[in-house]
Chain A
């Protein structure tokens, strides 16, 4: 599978530098969490890694080619993006929203794939409901099904999946189910996940590696144990917190001090 790499990314708007001299490479077969305080540039970075924004300097490459040189449809078969909010103006059944994920592919077999991904993300029973009437959490599950459908090939998702806060509206049950699913899918080797996560404990439990962004720079990266130390988090988040070991997995658990 193609590697995704960013070299010397820089992006400025209105005199403010949002992303500065940023290098990174995303390994496939992993779940990477992008974390950082408010305004760190996480969403901007995501939009450059996915080819929506063009950096002022530097470039993102998928495989041998820069993102900008990929034909649209072929890029859409290899990378999908789930954003935070997806309002829709007209009545659409949830299954139709998921089916739109198949747009970059030939129509054959779409119905089976739609059913499969909806079962996987636990939204089969939402299929016939109007997307606009769903709760925020239900909408997020439908959107997750849509982006998985977009990358689905031969019974599994293949390529790169980017998610901007995929769990922001989910309750504990669905947070756990969603991250377990993403983690398990990324094990298959042909699939890489990069998610912006606000909840550091979710990131610590399920991410293979963490990217910590602060004011447009990558200030720490590595395994959760390496990045999520009391010193690092306190320094960049400026919060009064304590890090201990999760007593099942040994991964870091972050607690705020009262």
Chain B
């Protein structure tokens, strides 16, 4: 697909996203049709549900979907490998462990002021994902990009963080345990306006800053040395992109727990539709990630209504087989 078709694709996806948002806001345990909303006064319960439950949830799904897909796209560009993914490489679980610590921390410390308590999980998740990201990236430089080794390290980190979260939940009190396990399943059910605002304050700037580095990410595709010869400050660009990507993963994980495979599947499909030029492929991934997570979350809310299944389970059911298929394909390519 040539770049000339890319703007049309993006426009089409933007419209699909808006339609999916409208659809998702009106579906749920209680269907809220546009007509019912139109007729009801603003003080009516349907509006209360729409404004305080549906709308924040839909916006959160859009934000998280964008963050996960774009961070996956950036990581694949940085590692120059289509199988790099924040979940598989242990970056999400690094963020997860940090959030778990942040939830448990008040056990030993005096209570935090409410404002800090709101921001603390996201900050912690960012630091956690950044730490794992830096570790993995320095290893990848030494392993000369051998993905097999990186994935093994990812498995180890996932196991380690999983065990640590286990220890923490064993130490926690009832309320904390409930909070931990709800969050750990990967769900958007905690959507509320204050949390949405914190999340947006991290994700939106990070998305914009990432987009401004799309051309740099393109140059890195020729390899570090050639990017250097073309005038790029390679180390600085890599540091910036790693930090932005960690910020996106961290913000997403701190709110919704670990929602796997969005960062793996979406960029791959976008490369196929829009080509590998990150100037188009990054916004494409953002839109497609939003659409995917909106649809998955709407399914998660409606399939077993009035109960709700964690959306992370759904995306894993979708992404797991995909990942397997990609590995088989890559192996065939090597042989």
Contacts and interface: CB of A to CB of B under 8 A. Distances in A.
Given A96-B277, A103-B215, A88 B230 contact: no
B271 interface: yes
B294 to A, nearest CB: 27
Given A89-B80, A89-B82, A97-B222, A52 B228 contact: yes
Contacts of A77: 231
B275 A89 contact: no
Given A91-B271, A91-B275, A92-B276, A101 B225 contact: no
B218 A100 contact: yes
A103 B231 contact: yes
7 contacts: A76-B229, A79-B229, A87-B223, A90-B221, A96-B276, A97-B222, A104-B231
Nearest to A81: B229
B231 A100 contact: no
A239 B271 CA distance: 51
Range for the number of chain A residues in contact with chain B? 20 to 34
A75 interface: yes
Contacts of B226: 81, 83, 86
Contact of A92 (B215, B221, B231): B221
A50 B229 contact: yes
B223 A72 contact: no
Interface of B: 2, 80-82, 215, 218-219, 221-223, 225-226, 228-233, 271, 275-277
A118 to B, nearest CB: 16
Given A72-B233, A128-B2, 6 more contacts: A81-B226, A86-B222, A89-B81, A91-B275, A93-B275, A100-B218
A73 interface: yes
Interface in A165-179: none
Given A86-B222, A89-B81, A100 B277 contact: no
Contacts of A101: 230
B232 A72 contact: yes
A103 B276 contact: no
Nearest to B267: A90
Nearest to A76: B231
B225 A73 contact: no
A54 B230 CA distance: 17
A150 to B, nearest CB: 7
Contacts of A91: 271, 275-276
A103 B230 CA distance: 7
Contact of B230 (A83, A90, A96, A100): A100
Nearest to A79: B229
A128 B2 CA distance: 9
A72 B81 CA distance: 27
A212 interface: no
A17 to B, nearest CB: 23
A88 B221 contact: yes
Nearest to B233: A72
A104 B82 CA distance: 27
A126 B335 CA distance: 26
Interface string A61-90: 000000000001101110111010011111
Contacts of B276: 90-92, 96
A160 to B, nearest CB: 11
Contact of A90 (B82, B225, B231): B82
> Ordered nearest first, which 3 A-B pairs have the shortest CB separation?
A76-B231, A89-B80, A90-B276
Nearest to B229: A81
Contacts of A86: 222-223, 226
Contacts of B80: 89-90
B271 A90 contact: yes
B70 to A, nearest CB: 16
A75 B225 contact: no
A97 B2 CA distance: 14
A91 B271 CA distance: 8
A90 B78 CA distance: 12
Nearest to B230: A103
- Which of B81, B219, B222 is most buried by chain A, counting CB atoms within 10 A of its CB? B222
Nearest to A88: B221
Contacts of B225: 52, 81, 83
- Which of B81, B219, B226, B277 is most buried by chain A, counting CB atoms within 10 A of its CB? B226
A75 B231 contact: yes
B221 A89 contact: yes
A234 B232 CA distance: 42
